[in-house]
């Protein structure tokens, strides 16, 4: 079985773009949360989100592409190019040198804004033939997996494509499937990640669920009020040990193991005893052949909702012991980037290992007594371990845990 | 040999032709067509009213559970899964325990949009029912099935257009080979919703039928669901579940080049990859289940790829969509399930809506029922002409 390494990665988020700047912003505890600018929220009870300020911040989207790409495709393509560049997989002309590599992406809804706009347009124009043609082309680009096609075309990626929509654990599943395809020799390289932009439909839906915080996301804090929706994209280049050796590249990290589970319990509420979260962590440890004590830090799902945080914290306590391992929750800074959350938190885990430091959880003042964990609150903390764990859960009870290791 | 392979041990289909595989197969053999004009439009569609019937079947059960809000694609998948597992999974279930079961479901469309659109237009949050918001989002379909059947190993929702149902079987094989699960239900589900009709309406230019290779764009929209029970051959056999078919190989290819009409590159490469993955040659393929759906460019791209590969030795081919329509994320699974039944029965249903075009003969399509025993079947999936997938299935070896 092939070992799986990470040889490139990049991120775009509400606090910054590119891994290095992103890391500095995380250490400072910067918040990407501000007033929603994408659409009118005057009719809604909540008005904040963690929006990306500049979709072209990485400077690798050409002017012609800016006119052609949808917002999610812009994020995906820009982040992917940066990750491929770091992995040494782009040629001098900026083209992907390994077109046959896998492309496994995740998003909950792709370019939903544009998709719904087109639906409305179609409906209002009373089915004329002219509008049908416009709608058809736009639909194909904006349907959930449309951005993956837009990315693949510009990156020249001809190999296996996978598009995962497993709620807020979606990009964790995309990474895990990439790991498995490399382990089983189906491919030597896989570009895995997730991208999400703010969609009015989703935002209003979360408002209807009363799941959003009005001011701040406060994971594991006794006064937490809910999550804040965010935008983001993260991409990892996964590579087999054999390919790493052949190319003579120094990997950033190794994926030691992954675990999956399904709560089979409720469409929005986590399992009351945290069975699914605990199960995916245990399976990840088994896959990595590690004892719990080997894990030095946890990048938590930590949404800031009462139910999720309590369930997750108790699952950590069950597996690792109460207050045993430092836990940090980046959604306090980045908001909940939905389909991109798992991969962005995976990148934070890898950066934490590389720098041997865990970034802080901001807005955390008093740990909830129902969350028996050691939260890295307010300022960064040293990480003295070769291993860290990232954990994700999604509506419907989708759970995914990943263990990263220094190579 | 099959002991170490991933095999299909059971399957269920729900489509405009019915909701029992054997009856569907009989109807297809008799040459029945399941496409008709939609009541409120000129669109030719398959399955109008299908999901309503499924909903009716579930009505009492749903009321009993207090499950008031649901997604009809999920109901089709729940029904198919229930018929395979018979009862909800438990620690003493005869097939497997809940944590050893997985689900890979192809599904795409967010169907909460009408309600949300209305709320956005009127700027009234009260119009959004939180329960509907939850049950109608993309991944909620697989989640509802996992809750209903108590599948606790994992659920995966994959979207990749017309070929996603086919891809779900490849993902099932991947997860079974990883040892993550013992049994995986793989397939796809899709109901006809307004958005599907919007997005594809341009293909349905008021043609009377889905005319294959006529040059007239005429892809009819349809709906349905198929789930296939996949597991490793040896343990399945030990537990009294013999293989009905073997998953031999899968290939996918995306053609990133600027698109020209009828470019066969994606289909050609996908087939070659699938054959290579299966360890077989073109001459070994005994039957082809095409992705042909009436979309002119896609059909010709596929036809050219198949003819270039097989030439005059083109094995008999069947285009299920010619009689059922295009079921999107359900199609790949429906065709794969039908391929298993055809391999078992040694018969191939007649194709429908063929027109006098050179490709009918070149692709060995026939409007007659054929008795035909094959060992290997090639099942095609096309996401327009630029992305293609191919799956190789075989009869089990004794």
pLDDT cut 70: percent of chain A above it:
94
Facing A184 at nearest CB: one of B161, B177, B252: B177
Q: Determine, for residues A118 and B99 on separate chains, whether the beta-carbon distance falls below 8 Å.
A: no
What is the per-residue pLDDT across B278-315, written as a single tens digit (0 to 9) for each? 999 999 999 999 998 887 778 889 999 999 999 999 99
Nearest Cβ partner for A394 among B139, B171, B177: B139
Q: What percentage of chain B has pLDDT greater than the value 70?
A: 86
Average pLDDT score over residue span A107-124: 75
Assess whether pLDDT exceeds 70 at residue A169.
yes
| Model pLDDT, residue B39 | 64
- At residue B202, the pLDDT reads 43
Residue B51 scores a pLDDT above 70: yes
Q: Is the pLDDT of residue B121 over 90?
A: no
pLDDT at B122: 84
pLDDT of residue B40: 59
Q: At what angle do helices B50-65 and B72-85 cross, to 10 degrees?
A: 70
B339-360 pLDDT, tens digit each? 999 999 999 999 988 876 788 8
Helices (H) and strands (E) in chain B, counts: 14, 14
Closest residue on chain B to A395 (Cα): B140
CB contact (8 A) between residue B139 and residue A165: yes
pLDDT band at A136 (very low <50, low <70, confident <90, very high): low
Which residues 92-151 of B have a C-beta within 8 angstroms of A?
98-99, 103, 108-110, 112-113, 116-117, 119-121, 123-125, 128-130, 133-135, 137-140, 142-144, 146-147, 149-151
SS (H, E, C) chain A: CCCEEEEEEEEECCCCECHHHHHHHHHHCCCCCEECCCCCCCCCCCCEEECCCCCCCCCCCCHHHHHHCCHHHHHHHHHHHHHHHHCCCECCCCCECCCCCEEEEECCCCCHHHHHHHHHHHHHCCCCHHHHHHHHHHHHHHCCCHHHHHHHHHHCCCCCEEEECCHHHHHHHHHHHHHHHHHCCCCCEEEEEEEECCCHHHHHHHHHCCCECCCCCCCCECCCCCECEECEEEEEEEEEHHHHHHHCCCCCEEEEEEEEEECCCCCCCCCCCCHHHHHHHHHHHHHHCCCHHHEEEEECCCCCCHHHHHHHHHHHHHHHCCCCCEEECCHHHHCECHHHHHHHHHHHHHHHHHHCEECCECCCCCECCCCCCEECECCCEECCCCEEEEEEEECCCEEEEEEEECC
The interface residues of chain A toward chain B in range 3-42, judged by CB-CB distance below 8 A, are 40, 42
Superfamily of domain B2-238: Thiolase/Chalcone synthase (3.40.47.10)
**Residues of chain B with C-beta less than 8 angstroms from the C-beta of A40:** 123
Mean pLDDT of A166-176: 95
Contacts of B129 in chain A (CB under 8 A): 208
User: Where does the pLDDT of residue A142 fall: very low under 50, low under 70, confident under 90, or very high at 90 and above?
Assistant: low
pLDDT at B48 over 80: no
Q: Which of B160, B199, B252 lies at the smallest CB-CB distance from A136?
A: B199
pLDDT, one tens digit per residue, over B332-341 is 999 999 999 9
Share of chain A above pLDDT 90, in %: 82
pLDDT confidence bin for B15, thresholds 50/70/90: very high
Q: What is the model's pLDDT at position A326?
A: 98
Nearest to B198 among A119, A173, A395 (CB): A119
Task: Say whether residue A228 is in contact with chain B using an 8 A CB cutoff.
Answer: no
Chain B partners within 8 Å of A126 (Cβ): none
Distance to chain A for B124, nearest Cα, Å: 7
pLDDT at B69: 60
Report the range of poorest mean pLDDT among A129-138, B83-92, B261-270, B381-390: A129-138
Q: At B5, is the secondary structure helix, strand, or coil? A: coil
pLDDT in tens, B244-288: 999 999 999 999 887 666 789 999 999 999 999 999 999 999 999
- pLDDT, mean of residues B109-132: 74
Question: Is pLDDT of B160 > 50?
Answer: yes
Mean pLDDT, rounded, of chain A: 93
Contact B388, B302 (CB under 8 A): yes
Lowest mean pLDDT among A51-60, A372-381, B316-325: B316-325
Comparing C-alpha atoms, which of B69, B14, B33 is closest to residue B331? B14
**A397 and B143 in contact by Cβ < 8 A?**
yes
Give the mutation candidate from B73, B132, B202 for the A interface (greatest A CB count, under 10 A): B202
pLDDT in tens, B168-202: 999 999 999 999 899 999 999 988 876 666 555 44
Domain ranges of chain B: 2-238, 245-394
Is A4-110+145-405 assigned to CATH 3.40.50.720? no
With CA atoms as reference, the chain B residue closest to A108 would be B138
What's the rounded Cα separation, in Å, for the pair A284 and A290?
9
Out of A115, A154, A201, closest to residue B120 by CB: A201
Topology classification of domain B245-394: Peroxisomal Thiolase; Chain A, domain 1 (3.40.47)
Q: Report the pLDDT value the prediction gives residue A109, as an integer from 0 to 100.
A: 85
Closest Cα partner for B247 from B231, B234, B271? B231
Give B137's contacts in chain A (Cβ within 8 Å). 108-109, 167, 205, 395
Residues of B (47-86) whose Cβ lies below 8 Å from A = none
Only one residue has tokens 């989708």, namely: A398
Per-residue pLDDT, A313: 97
What's the pLDDT score for residue A205? 87
Set of chain A residues whose Cβ sits within 8 Å of the Cβ of B276: none
The reply to whether A279 touches chain B by the CB within 8 Å rule is yes
Distance from CA of A336 to the nearest CA of B (A): 17
Query: Quick one: pLDDT band at residue B214, thresholds 50, 70, 90?
Result: low
C-alpha separations of B173 from A251, B12, B228, B239 in Å: 29, 18, 12, 19
Nearest residue of B to residue A46 by CA position? Answer: B125
pLDDT value for B206: 44
* Contact with chain B for residue A292, Cβ under 8 A: no
User: What is each CA distance from A167 to A159, A172, A268, A276, B261, in whole angstroms?
Assistant: 25, 10, 11, 15, 36
B190 to chain A: which residues are within 8 Å by CB? none
Nearest CB to A135 within list B160, B198, B387: B198
pLDDT of B395 over the 90 cut:
yes
In a mutational test of the A interface, the residue from B159, B193, B206 whose CB has the highest number of chain A CBs within 10 Å is: B159
Which pLDDT score is estimated for B212? 66
The structure's pTM equals: 0.95
Give pLDDT, residue B186. Answer: 98
């Amino acid at each position: 079985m092939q070992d799986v390494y990470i040889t490139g990665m990049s991120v775009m988020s509400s606090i910054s773009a590119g891994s290095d700047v992103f890391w500095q912003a995380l250490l400072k505890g910067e918040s990407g949360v501000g007033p929603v600018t994408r659409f009118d929220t005057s009719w809604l009870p909540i008005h904040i989100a963690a929006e990306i300020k500049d979709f072209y911040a990485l400077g690798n989207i050409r002017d012609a592409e800016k006119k052609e790409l949808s917002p999610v495709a812009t994020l995906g393509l820009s982040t992917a190019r940066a990750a491929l560049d770091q992995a040494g997989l782009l040629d001098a002309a900026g083209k992907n040198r390994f077109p046959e590599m896998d492309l496994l992406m995740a998003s909950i809804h792709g370019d939903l804004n544009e998709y719904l706009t087109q639906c409305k347009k179609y409906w209002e124009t009373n089915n004329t033939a002219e509008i049908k043609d416009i709608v058809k082309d736009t639909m194909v680009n904006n349907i959930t997996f449309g951005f993956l096609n837009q990315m693949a075309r510009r990156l020249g990626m001809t190999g296996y494509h996978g598009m995962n929509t497993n709620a807020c654990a979606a990009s964790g599943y995309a990474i895990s499937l990439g790991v498995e395809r490399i382990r089983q020799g189906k491919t030597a390289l896989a570009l895995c990640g997730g991208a999400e932009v703010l969609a009015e439909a989703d935002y209003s839906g979360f408002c209807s669920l009363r799941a959003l915080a009005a001011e701040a996301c406060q994971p594991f804090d006794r006064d937490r009020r809910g999550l804040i929706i965010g935008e983001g994209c993260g991409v990892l280049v996964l590579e087999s040990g054999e390919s790493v050796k052949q190319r003579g590249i120094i990997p950033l990290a190794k994926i030691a193991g992954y675990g999956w589970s399904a709560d089979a319990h409720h469409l929005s509420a986590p399992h009351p005893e945290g069975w699914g979260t605990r199960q995916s962590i245990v399976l990840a440890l088994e896959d990595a052949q590690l004892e719990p004590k080997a894990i030095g830090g946890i990048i938590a799902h930590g949404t800031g909702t009462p139910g999720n945080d309590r369930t997750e914290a108790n699952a950590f306590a069950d597996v690792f012991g109460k207050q045993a391992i430092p836990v940090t929750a980046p959604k306090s800074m980045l908001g909940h980037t939905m389909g991109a959350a798992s991969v962005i938190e995976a990148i934070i885990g890898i950066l934490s290992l590389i720098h041997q430091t865990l970034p802080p959880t901001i807005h955390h003042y008093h740990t909830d007594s129902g969350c028996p964990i050691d939260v890295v609150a307010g300022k960064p903390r040293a990480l003295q371990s070769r291993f860290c764990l990232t954990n994700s859960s999604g509506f419907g009870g989708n759970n995914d845990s990943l263990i990263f290791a220094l190579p | 040999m099959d002991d170490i392979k991933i095999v299909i041990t059971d399957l269920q289909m729900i489509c405009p032709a019915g909701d029992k595989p054997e009856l569907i197969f009989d109807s297809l053999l008799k040459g029945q067509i399941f496409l008709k004009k939609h009541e409120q439009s000129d669109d030719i569609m398959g399955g109008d009213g299908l999901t309503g019937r499924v909903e009716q079947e579930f009505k009492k059960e749903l009321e009993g559970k207090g499950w008031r809000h649901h997604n009809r694609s999920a109901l089709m998948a729940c029904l198919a899964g229930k018929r395979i597992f018979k009862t909800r999974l438990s620690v003493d279930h005869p097939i497997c325990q809940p944590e050893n079961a997985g689900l890979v479901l192809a599904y795409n469309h967010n169907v909460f949009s009408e309600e949300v659109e209305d709320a956005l237009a009127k700027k009234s949050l009260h119009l959004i029912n939180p329960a509907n918001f939850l049950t109608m989002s993309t991944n909620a379909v697989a989640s509802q099935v996992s809750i209903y059947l108590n599948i606790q190993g994992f659920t995966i929702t994959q979207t990749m257009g017309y070929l996603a149902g086919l891809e779900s079987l490849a993902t099932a094989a991947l997860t079974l080979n990883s040892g993550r699960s013992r049994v995986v239900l793989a397939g796809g589900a899709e109901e006809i919703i307004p958005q599907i009709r919007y997005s594809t309406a341009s293909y349905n230019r008021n043609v009377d039928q889905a005319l294959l290779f006529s040059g007239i764009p005429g892809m009819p929209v349809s709906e349905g669901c198929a789930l296939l029970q996949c597991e490793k051959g040896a343990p399945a056999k030990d537990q009294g579940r013999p293989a009905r078919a073997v998953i031999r190989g899968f290939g996918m290819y995306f053609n990133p080049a600027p698109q020209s009409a009828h470019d066969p590159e994606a289909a050609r490469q996908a087939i070659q990859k699938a054959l290579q993955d299966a360890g077989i040659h073109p001459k070994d393929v005994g039957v082809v289940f095409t992705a042909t759906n009436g979309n002119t460019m896609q059909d010709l791209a596929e036809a050219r790829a198949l003819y270039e590969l097989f030439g005059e030795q083109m094995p008999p081919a069947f285009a299920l969509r010619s009689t059922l329509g295009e079921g999107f994320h359900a199609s790949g699974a429906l065709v794969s399930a039908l391929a298993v039944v055809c391999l078992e029965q040694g018969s191939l249903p007649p194709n429908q809506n063929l027109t006098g075009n050179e490709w009918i003969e070149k692709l060995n399509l026939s409007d007659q029922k054929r008795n035909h025993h094959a060992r290997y079947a090639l099942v095609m999936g096309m996401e327009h002409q630029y992305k293609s997938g191919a799956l190789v299935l075989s009869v089990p070896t004794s």
